[in-house]
Amino acid sequence: MDTLISSVKIAINPQLYLKDPESSELGINIVHNGIDLIKEIGFEEFTFRKLGLQIHSPEASIYRYFESKHKFLLYLNAWYWGWMEYQLLLAISNVSSADKRLEKSVFLMTEGVQNDPNFQGIDIVKMQEIVVAEASKSFLNKQVDQANQDGAYLSYKQFVAKVANIIKEINPQYKYPIMLVTTVIEGAHQQRFFAEHLPRLTNKQNKPHYLSKFYMDLVFKTIKPV
């Protein structure tokens, strides 16, 4: 039975799962409720046993889809960045001005997302909150090199490369386009987290879009040739 609502599907590197979770009811349930549970209790407290209890399936069943909870996090990350790449394509297609394209990219990287009806079921808002709070754990560990070889970060790298290319279009002389992009992405995540938990480490403002304004200003000033 076909459960797809739209014809768009985020392609995920099969090395990140044992059995495609989109191929069965249980798999979809695992991803769904997994997102909810990680959001609720945090990744360190999250276990497949707890997730099993929530979906009334034994722990062992979940292990048939994902090798470990770490790989599950990598899967969610890859999904998120796949989706972000798709959003980027939508946002910049048919926009001829490179400046405008970069503007839209920075906005996408720094603002909170909105739920997308094309991927009903996956709560993208929650997913982004997870990525903001937990993503760095997906690479800041000793298995990073193995995960990297497994292609865990491909979609992230692709996204970054696309935006970096726009920067190069605007200023081919600028030497650090990739660094600038990852600085913005990871920075925006941190600031978002700080605003909620460690306000003295940020400049939270009530103005809408203050975060994207800060980074927009930073990016355009930085790449401007002297």
Partner DNA sequence: GCAAATTTAATAGTATTACTATCAACTTTG
Partner DNA sequence: CAAAGTTGATAGTAATACTATTAAATTTGC
Residues at the contact surface with DNA, assessed by CB under 7 A: 19, 24-27, 44-45, 47-50, 56-61, 63-64, 67-70
Residue 179 touches which of a copy of itself, DNA, none (CB < 5 to 8 A by kind)?
A: a copy of itself
- Rounded to a whole number of angstroms, the minimum distance from the CB of residue 135 to DNA is 17
Residue 187 touches which of a copy of itself, DNA, none (CB < 5 to 8 A by kind)?
A: a copy of itself
Using alpha carbons, select from 70, 50, 182, 191 the residue that is nearest to residue 134. 70
Among 41, 90, 95, 125, binds a copy of itself (CB under 8 A): 41
* Amino acid identity, position 147: A
Kindly write out the interface string for residues 164-183 of this chain, putting x where it contacts a copy of itself by CB under 8 A and - elsewhere. Answer: -----------xxxxxx-xx
Using alpha carbons, select from 185, 125, 192 the residue that is nearest to residue 155. 185
Using alpha carbons, select from 181, 153, 160, 189 the residue that is nearest to residue 79. 153
Burial readout 91-106 (b: 16 or more C-beta within 10 A, e: otherwise): ebeeeeebeebbbbbb
Residue with smaller CB distance to a copy of itself, 13 or 57: 13
Residue 216 touches which of DNA, a copy of itself, none (CB < 5 to 8 A by kind)?
A: none
Beta carbons of 22 and 11 less than 8 angstroms apart: no
